[in-house]
Amino acid sequence: MFFSKTKKLTVHTSFVFFIHYIADTNRSTKGFQVIVCGFPRTGTTSMILALHVLGFKCFHGAHTFNPRNVFVLDSAFKYETKVHWEKLLDGFNGISDWPGACAYKKLMDLFPHAKIILTTRDPKKWYKSYLVAIGGAKSPYKHIFKLIYPGSLRCMDRNFQKVMSSNDMDEDACIKCYENHNADVIENVSSQRLLVYNFENDEGWRPLCEFLEVPCPAIPFPSANNQASFNTFVRKAFIVRATIMVFYLLFILLCTIFILF
């Protein structure tokens, strides 16, 4: 368990734990149980950290930074069979972020006992965060991700844009897609199977733990991946990836020189 019961979960420490969480290779032995289907930038990172504290391990959009996961996820979206989804989710007992938002209906049918969590926030605040971090063509982060994780971004564009249903990044168009998705979830999921969780209400552990029928932990609820921590993540990811690419190119250059001379 990454979280100490005596350690306060600040935004910074929670984000550090998120990086460890994505890199963690420990696998869950439980069956598939949770579908977090809120749009990116609605608190999905904080939610998977909270679920981790409660014993759940969720596949997150950041797992597509691994090229192997991109291929398997694309296949799952293409063929929509339980075999393909089980291959992707092997070792996970939940899913979150944009993969969960895109596939929640199919996963509901494939895993009828899984519970659904819809993370939400104020639509205008969501749009502003989404536009800067992910959606906007002028977003510096999108161009950086194209350089360091091209497969991940292409996978997201192919699949998440079907849910967004609009390439227009106009505020009204995006907010309409966001609200339509939330309304669609509420309409298609029974109230007994659905938890709508709004982080802006500072709801804490109680509604989540009651919904999942688990005890409330004696630690603060995680808060991660706000705009400042997202900026830090992108900057560090770019530095690491760029450093690897430079060393790789130098290695190729040295090998070429050695062969030629």
User: If you average pLDDT over residues 13-35, what whole number do you get?
Assistant: 61
Establish if 28 belongs to a structural domain: yes
3-state secondary structure of 118: strand
Average pLDDT, the chain: 81
Q: Output the domain CATH number for residue 159.
A: 3.40.50.300
**Which pLDDT does position 77 carry in this prediction?**
92
Answer yes or no: is 210 within a domain.
yes
Q: Is residue 121 part of a domain?
A: yes
How many Cα neighbours within 13 Å face the side chain of 78? 8
Q: Is residue 1, in this structure, part of any structural domain at all? A: no
Number of separate domains in the chain: 1
What type of residue sits at position 87?
K
> Cα–Cα distance between 165 and 173 in angstroms, integer?
9
pLDDT per residue as tens digits for the range 200-215: 898 899 999 999 999 9
In a domain? residue 5: no
Structural domain contains residue 89: yes
Q: Which domain holds residue 182?
A: 11-260
Q: Please tell me the total number of residues recorded for the chain in this structure.
A: 261
Mean pLDDT over 127-155 rounds to: 67
4 occurs within a structural domain? no
